[in-house]
Structure 1
């Protein structure tokens, strides 16, 4: 995996004096796929490390039963089933139609993007606690995905592909930072295949993570 770290400018840049609260989006919508903005209730329903992991498993690896998810996570099937029902109640997952039995239910992730804006919860202390859990777990899982990829023994043409990039010499206004985030998301969307199209047998799942956040300046409030 290639690493690209542009050189620092001669003068240290500073972040804007004010900025919007960070937002996070997982699995961007493709085409007409819906975008779901988390409210306080759905945020509290999702903000649990195991539930976030289960949703990840279903989104990244496709439909599964509680027994299969138990094998992957090391949790009991009873615990997995309880959290799956919780995710279903909040509309994050649904049963796979025409598959499974009353004793063995197959679950799949509901298609579409999950979008979160931290400023939505400024006046809700309970939701802010859930937001803290969600953001910390989301960051941990993002880091773990990168660490897993870097630690994998890739072979053939996959060896040396990918990049870890850090641009730290930008100086933007809040509006410019938001525009940058939207432009980057649009680039990823152009390279995202139609989920209904036949997969290319030469393709592998790819992780794309973009962090574009204001940086604190020690000389400014």
Structure 2
């Protein structure tokens, strides 16, 4: 059975469910599958040959978002820009997930040995980095080790308090130049226990990052 036939069969099954009830989830799934079918058909017409099996789910989603906007007859330039921003965000979140994982509040609470409400309080008080995705907070795993939060996390987040959550993630997940010439990822330095001179470098870079991000 072809990919298109499989998708069409799934649509028929979901439409059948829609008639029997569960309208919210089924209706949304039907709409998404119809968009997917349209995009796949346009790829077939253009003899699209990229191997999508090597893409992460987030990367594949990003491609669908961009192409769906481009194929939409009512899509304005502004709508295409918005779609590209959404796709870029999907790729960004996917990259974080690949590097260190993403947790929901319950999972983070289990790692920290606290309640889920405490995790929400830490997010609200800027003691944890979290990316809002719909109704969920996605909490990047670079903030944790086997004991809970990595050392000095809150101190560094405090310096970066006025930048976006996405910018904070970029800061922690980028290499930092150390005095010995090495360039480890910043969060790895914290995770293994940063020395005093390493913390001075990290705090200096955080202040510079804060200035550059604001400019």
TM-score (normalizing by structure 1): 0.23
User: Per residue, is there more helix in 1 or in 2?
Assistant: 2
User: Per residue, is there more strand in 1 or in 2?
Assistant: 1
TM-score (normalizing by structure 2): 0.23
